[in-house]
C-alpha cells in the first residue's frame, strides 16, 4: 500500500502541467436589503491568492482569501469588524480516459465568531460545447462548524453537495474576456448543522464573474453573488464587488 501511494504521488509531480498563480485586490459590498436581513454582512476589502494547476491526471485549484485584512472596516451598527480567513481546495482526478473525475473539495471559513468547514467527496464530469466549458458534480458533504456566541457546534455528515461551473471566453472591444457562473449547493443538511449556523435544509451560492484581461498578466474582475442560506448570509442576499488582479 505504501509503495502504491508513493507511486501515485510521484505521478502527480512528474506529469506535464500548466499552472498559474494570481493575486486579487478587491472590495465587496452587499445590498441594503441583504444587510437588513443579515447582521453579519458588511462591506469590506479583500486579498486573494490563487493557484491553478492542470496536468494529465486532472486539475487542482487552491486559494487563500483574507477578508477585511487589518480589520479596517467596521461591521454593522459601528461594531468592530473582523478578519475572516477563507481557504478552498478543489481536486478533480480524471478517471481513466473518461470525462469523469474523482472529486475532492474542502472549504474553510474562520473568524473570531464563527468557523465552518465543508468537505465534499464525489464525482464530477467535464464537458465542452464549442468554447463553453462546463464542470458539474455531486457528492457527500462532511461539515464541521462552531458559533461562538451560542457555543453551538456540529461535526458530521450533512447531506449532499452539488456544483456546476461554467466558463465562456470571448473577445470584445479589443480585449479578452471570460464570463463564468459557479453554482454550489448543499442539500438535506443535518438538523444540528442547521441549528448551529441558522441554516435551512437547502442552501446555495451562485457567483457570476466577468474577468477582463488588460494585458497578459494584469486583469480586472466584476462579480455578483446570490446567497440562499449560506455563510454570513443565512437569510439570503446579494453581494457584488470589483477586483484588480495580477498573474505570475
The DSSP letter of residue 79 is: P
Give me the pLDDT at residue 1, please. 40
Which of 60, 31, 54 lies closest to 43 in space, CA to CA? 31
pLDDT tier at 13, thresholds 50, 70, 90: very low
For range 82-101, the mean pLDDT: 97
> For residue range 120-177, what is the model confidence (pLDDT) as tens digits?
999 999 999 999 999 999 999 999 999 999 999 999 999 999 999 999 999 999 999 9
Cβ-based neighbour number of residue 92 at 10 Å? 23
Which of 130, 225, 211 lies closest to 172 in space, CA to CA? 211
pTM, entire model: 0.91
Q: How far apart are CA 76 and CA 41, in angstroms?
A: 8
All structural domains of the chain: 18-247 (2.40.230.20)
Percent of the chain, pLDDT > 70? Answer: 93
Contact 244/24 with Cβ under 8 angstroms?
yes
> For residue range 172-196, what is the model confidence (pLDDT) as tens digits?
999 999 999 999 999 999 999 999 9
Give me the pLDDT at residue 17, please. 63
Give me the pLDDT at residue 8, please. 44
pLDDT tier at 7, thresholds 50, 70, 90: very low
Half-sphere exposure of 246 (CA within 13 A, CB side): 3
Cell of 153: 457546534
Contact 230/203 with Cβ under 8 angstroms?
yes
pLDDT tier at 78, thresholds 50, 70, 90: confident
Q: Classify burial at 127, counting beta carbons within 10 Å of its beta carbon; exposed 0-12, middle 13-18, buried 19 or more.
A: exposed
Amino acid at each position: 500500500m505504501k509503495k502504491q501511494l508513493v507511486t501515485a504521488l510521484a505521478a502527480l509531480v512528474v506529469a506535464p502541467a500548466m499552472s498559474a498563480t494570481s493575486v486579487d485586490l478587491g472590495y465587496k459590498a452587499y445590498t441594503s436589503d441583504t444587510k437588513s436581513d443579515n447582521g453579519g454582512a458588511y462591506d469590506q476589502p479583500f486579498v486573494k491568492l490563487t493557484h491553478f494547476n492542470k496536468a494529465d491526471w486532472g486539475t487542482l485549484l487552491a486559494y487563500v482569501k483574507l477578508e477585511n485584512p487589518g480589520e479596517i472596516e467596521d461591521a454593522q451598527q459601528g461594531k468592530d469588524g473582523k478578519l475572516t480567513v477563507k481557504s478552498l481546495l478543489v481536486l478533480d482526478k480524471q478517471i481513466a480516459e473518461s470525462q469523469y473525475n474523482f472529486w475532492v473539495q474542502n472549504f474553510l471559513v474562520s473568524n473570531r465568531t464563527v468557523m465552518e468547514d465543508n468537505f465534499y467527496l464525489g464525482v464530477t464530469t467535464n464537458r465542452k460545447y464549442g468554447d463553453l466549458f462546463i464542470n458539474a458534480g455531486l457528492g457527500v458533504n462532511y461539515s464541521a462548524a462552531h458559533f461562538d456566541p451560542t457555543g453551538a457546534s456540529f461535526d458530521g455528515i450533512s447531506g449532499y453537495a452539488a456544483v456546476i461551473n461554467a466558463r465562456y471566453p470571448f473577445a470584445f472591444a479589443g480585449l479578452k474576456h471570460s464570463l463564468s457562473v459557479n453554482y454550489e449547493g448543499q442539500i438535506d443538511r443535518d438538523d444540528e448543522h442547521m441549528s448551529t449556523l441558522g441554516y435551512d435544509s437547502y442552501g446555495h451560492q451562485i457567483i457570476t464573474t466577468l474577468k477582463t484581461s488588460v494585458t497578459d498578466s494584469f486583469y480586472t474582475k466584476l462579480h455578483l453573488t446570490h446567497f440562499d442560506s449560506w455563510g454570513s448570509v443565512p437569510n439570503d442576499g446579494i453581494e457584488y464587488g470589483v477586483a484588480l488582479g495580477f498573474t505570475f
